[in-house]
Amino acid sequence: MSRIMRFDHVGVTVQDLDHVTAFFVGLGLEIEGRTFVEGDFIDTVIAIPDSRTEIVMLRTPDGGTGVELSSFVRPDPVPGSPAAMANELGLRSLSFEVDDLQAHVDRLAAEGYGLVGGIGQYEGAWRMAYVRGPEGIIVSLAERVS
């Protein structure tokens, strides 16, 4: 029987690749690579003929699950819903465990990125907050309490 080997990455399509990359690098992710992709392979996989996209692959410092940021050169990107809330269908957030939740929230607030709600605590084990980052991307930051 076939099986999944590991969870490799999540892909996010963005308008301003440099700005969104800087946001995630500021959170602590590391750039693994940056390239353009076009041709038969990508046209086949995404079913968009004559497409060209620039991709930045980011990883957590421990080498875990990555974040692939894509920005289409062609065709033009199609706007999403930058104010989507947690109950809107589709991918809603990228989640990261952090060592100091308040420090991250404060730094992001100073950069103009606000909380979606507030900082909550789950069963005495986790403190967590949703931050709305660039282009409406929601980032869930969680700190282990105990």
- Measured CA to CA, the distance from residue 60 to residue 42 in angstroms comes to 25
pLDDT tens by residue, 89-133: 777 789 999 999 999 999 999 999 999 999 999 998 999 999 999
Sign of CA dihedral 133, 115, 67, 51: negative
Q: Model-level pTM?
A: 0.90
